[in-house]
Amino acid sequence: MTTTLITGASSGIGLELAKLFAASGDDVVLTARSEDKLNELANDLQQSYKVTVTVIPSDLSKVNEVDRLYDRMHDRGMEIDTVVNNAGFGALGKFAELCVDRQTDMLMVNVVALTRLTRKLLPAMLHRRTGGVLNVGSIAAYQAGPNMAVYYATKAYVLSFTEALREELVDTGLHVTCLEPGATETGFGADSGMGKLDMFSSQAMSAAAVAKAGYEGYRKNEDVVIPGWKNRLMVTGIGFLPRFATRKIVGKMQGI
C-alpha cells in the first residue's frame, strides 16, 4: 500500500487530486487550513474507495508548520511515497499597494513550504527508490506578471525547481512532475481577485480536468503537464515574443 500526501486538499485541484489518488488505491494524507472541509472529504474518500485517510490541518504560511506536519506524520509511523505540493494562492494588485504580510505569506506557502516539505520527505523516498513529487505550478511561470508580481515569480520558482530536481533524480526511479494549469474553476479566482478578469470568465478549465491531466502525467513520469490546448498554445506563443512584450501584454490583461 502506498501513501500520498496532498497539501491544499480541501478544495479545487487538491481535492480532485485526492479523489484520483484514493481511487487508485493509495492511502492519503490531507492537509489544509480548513479542518471541517478536510474531514468531509476524508469521509467521502473512505466510503467511496475503502482507503485510509488521515487529516492533519495546517497553515503552511506559518514558519514551523512544515516541521510540525512532518513530525505528526513521523510520530504516526507514516511513510509518504508521493508528495503533492498543491497548496498556493495569489493576489491581484500592485506590489507597492498589496499587503506586505499577504505577499510574504504567499512566498511562504508557494515557495518555502513546497521546498521544505519536499526536502524533508525526499531522503526516505530515495532510500526506498519509489514514489515522487507532483508540484502544482501555473502557466504564470513562463513570463513576468505585472499586478501579480510575487505570484508569477513564485510559480517561475516552482517550475525551475521541479525541472532541476527531476534532473538530479533521473536515475533514482522517482517520478518528478510539474502541473502547470491556466485559469481553473476553483476558489483561486475569487480569493486572488482574478475572478473578474476575462481569462477566468471565458477560459477556465474545470478543476477535475486539470487534476486528471496532472495525475496521469505524474503516473507516466512526464516532466511538465500543461492541461488544455489553449494553455499549451499560449505558452508556445510566449516563447516567440521578447520578454518586454510579454510583460506588457500580461500587465494589460491584469490591469487594475
Domains of the chain, earliest start first: 3-253 (3.40.50.720)
Maximum distance among all Cα pairs of the chain, rounded to whole angstroms? 52
70 contacts 121 by C-beta, under 8 angstroms:
yes
What is the rounded CA–CA span in Å between residue 181 and residue 208?
A: 12
pTM of the predicted protein model: 0.92
Q: From the candidates 151, 152, 215, 218, which is the catalytic residue?
A: 151
Question: What residues contact 58, with CB distance under 8 A and at least 6 apart?
Answer: 7, 31, 32, 33, 65, 68, 69
* DSSP conformation letters of 79-98: --SEEEE-------S-TTTS
- Residue 226 exposure: Cα atoms within 13 Å on the Cβ side: 15
Residue 152 is among the residues annotated as catalytic for this protein: no
Residue-level pLDDT, tens digit, the chain, 256 residues = 899 999 999 999 999 999 999 999 999 999 999 999 999 999 999 999 999 999 999 999 999 999 999 999 999 999 999 999 999 999 999 999 999 999 999 999 999 999 999 999 999 999 999 999 999 999 999 999 999 999 999 999 999 999 999 999 999 999 999 999 999 987 655 555 655 566 555 678 999 999 999 999 999 999 999 999 999 998 998 888 888 888 888 888 888 6
**H/E element, 7:** strand 3-7
What is the rounded CA–CA span in Å between residue 76 and residue 63?
A: 22
